[in-house]
Amino acid sequence: MSYPTYRNLIGGEWLPAKSGKTLLNLNPADHTDIVGAFPSSHAEDVELAVAAAKKAYATWRLVPAPKRAEVLVRAGILLQERKEKFAHDMTREMGKVLAETRGDVQEAIDEAFYVAGEGRRLFGVTAPSELQSKFAMSVRMPVGVVGLITPWNFPMAIPSWKLFPALVAGNTCVIKPASDTPLSTYNLVQTLVDAGVPAGVINIVCGSGSGVGTPLVEHPDVRAISFTGSSSVGSHVGQRAAATFKPVSLEMGGKNAQIVLNDANLDLALDGALWGAFGTTGQRCTATSRILLQKGIAAQFTEKLVARAKALKIGSGLDESVEVGPQVNPSQIETSASYVEIALAEGAQLLCGGHALTEGAYAKGTFFEPTVLGGVTPTMRIAREEVFGPVVSLIEFETFDEAIAIANSIDYGLSTALYTKDVNRAFAAMRDLESGITYINAPTIGAEVHLPFGGVKQTGNGHREGLGAIDFFTTWKAVYVDYSDKLQRAQIDNQQ
């Protein structure tokens, strides 16, 4: 079959990888459907891209921020016009259903308009000086060339969370998309080019983590790295970046808990659990992978959840009636299958699902049944480690305090949800759950772009996307203007 071949964007030119090699992007619902060939790049391509970004930085940093923001407004409008096409492309390369890929493009649209406003808001502070006739202020400066490394599960939204604030703040960018889903990031980059981003300000280099990611992290002219992906790769990226003193923003894995108390609206909690656990085929960093059930409702909730999980329609995300698409690649299927085995070996019960689907319409893709595991205890590996597939564990508890302790007992801290009608418990949970995001009476997934996004413990290293991204992509400069016409020594001349 014929398929398009894509190139890297470096200094405004679309160039093949120096190696001449390509990687194939396959439709996870049908591996015979080749979405395109993308460059298999290496350090020499990264070298060119960083040089182009460095050159472009000299002029881009001087473009007034409100003007830089106008590019984002145009990009947002173009994304609105292209939404349906880009959603279709994304479902084809990534698998998630069309309603969700439309949501992914919409998130980039929301981010464009939100961040465009920052162009007129890159506020600093003025402060009184301790000395007479001296003015003190602080301004936000761009960082320089920034390297952006992104995962495959939100292949347009996550790149937009990084690119848009980086650009409005005056940085130039080299982005490395995930090799499973480069097309959506290409679509975003092409849109920015069409919106008027000058040559070299944005560069995209496609390839593997070791081929492109490592040289980008280690490059001396790259001043900061923003990474989203797994905690194991993030740890490596953080350590390599530290070697050259680069600031690095790490957004990583999750093992998110939904707690359901006896007084909860059970139907609402069921809707939330189903969407949180099986939306995006469980492949969200915020996916619900533990459901903590208070004993009084556990049996009833479990029975209903299993019935609804069994009824979910699985198939190609391009079919509007499908509710659960494929997993992104065979390795994700192996992970899901192996975690089911680990859970069963540790004493959990398989309540539904548990297997890859390989027959008939599923034979050409990577599908896994929505899976519910019962009888899970907080110390089992299935209760503690990220699966990143449609596999959810049910854990029962007696008291509210016990639920909070179980929710907090893991190494991750991204998203948590509590279903209850008790306002006191809701506020206690908001205070006590160790996670970057807490939902009350809503599922663990569903972040909005203008709030801080990120987590604690092994989920993140303290930075935030959304509200907070500008802090990462700018650096503070303190400026003092002495208009006294004499030497004034701070801490000395104003003391008796």
CB nearer to ligand NAD: give 88 or 236: 236
Q: Pick from 30, 33, 107, 386 the residue near ligand NAD by CB under 6 A.
A: 386
Give the three-class secondary structure for 332.
helix
> Smallest gap, in angstroms, from Cβ of residue 283 to ligand NAD?
7
84 has catalytic annotation: no
Cα gap 409→379, rounded to integer Å:
9
Evaluated on CA atoms 112, 115, 117, 120, the torsion sign reads negative
- Of 93, 107, 173, 285, the active-site residue reads 285
Q: Tokens representing 272? A: 């939330």
- Of 93, 100, 118, 251, the active-site residue reads 251
- Number of residues this chain uses to bind ligand NAD (CB under 6 A): 31
> Smallest gap, in angstroms, from Cβ of residue 177 to ligand NAD?
6
CB nearer to ligand NAD: give 414 or 469: 414
DSSP codes joined into one string, 180-202:
TSHHHHHHHHHHHHHHTPPTTTE
Q: Is 237 a binder of ligand NAD (CB under 6 A)?
A: yes
**Residue in 104, 98, 94, 252 with CA at minimum distance from that of residue 181:** 94
Contact segment (CB under 6 A) with ligand NAD among 27-35, 39-47, 111-119, 213-221 equals 213-221
Q: Is 261 a binder of ligand NAD (CB under 6 A)?
A: no
CB nearer to ligand NAD: give 200 or 229: 229
Question: Do residues 145 and 54 touch, judged by C-beta distance below 8 A?
Answer: yes
Q: Is 185 a binder of ligand NAD (CB under 6 A)?
A: no
Q: What string marks each residue from 271 to 310 as x (binds ligand NAD by CB under 6 A) or -?
A: --------------x-------------------------
Question: Do residues 288 and 443 touch, judged by C-beta distance below 8 A?
Answer: yes
Q: What string marks each residue from 125 to 164 as x (binds ligand NAD by CB under 6 A) or -?
A: ------------------------xxxxxx---x------
Q: Pick from 269, 394, 414, 470 the residue near ligand NAD by CB under 6 A.
A: 414
How many helices, marked H, and strands, marked E, lie in the chain?
13, 25
Q: Which residues of 400-438 are buried (b: 16+ CB within 10 A; e: fewer)?
A: beebbebbeebebbbbbbbbbeeeebbeebeeebbbbbb
> Smallest gap, in angstroms, from Cβ of residue 310 to ligand NAD?
26
Cα gap 235→252, rounded to integer Å:
9
Phi, psi of 296 (to 5 degrees): -60, -30
Phi, psi of 445 (to 5 degrees): -110, 150
Q: Pick from 236, 304, 355, 457 the residue near ligand NAD by CB under 6 A.
A: 236
Cα gap 366→328, rounded to integer Å:
7
Q: Pick from 19, 106, 190, 230 the residue near ligand NAD by CB under 6 A.
A: 230
334 has catalytic annotation: no
Q: Is 213 a binder of ligand NAD (CB under 6 A)?
A: yes
CB nearer to ligand NAD: give 134 or 236: 236
* C-alpha count within 13 angstroms, C-beta hemisphere, residue 89: 21
Q: What is the DSSP letter of 314?
A: B
Q: Is 233 a binder of ligand NAD (CB under 6 A)?
A: yes
> Smallest gap, in angstroms, from Cβ of residue 104 to ligand NAD?
11
| Residues 162-181 interacting with ligand NAD (rule: CB under 6 A) | 176, 178-179
CB nearer to ligand NAD: give 86 or 154: 154
Q: Pick from 60, 388, 397, 473 the residue near ligand NAD by CB under 6 A.
A: 388
Question: Do residues 237 and 217 touch, judged by C-beta distance below 8 A?
Answer: yes
Cα gap 68→53, rounded to integer Å:
16
Binding site for ligand NAD (CB under 6 A): 149-154, 158, 176, 178-179, 208-210, 213-214, 217, 228-230, 233, 236-237, 251-254, 285, 386, 388, 414, 459
Active site members: 251, 285
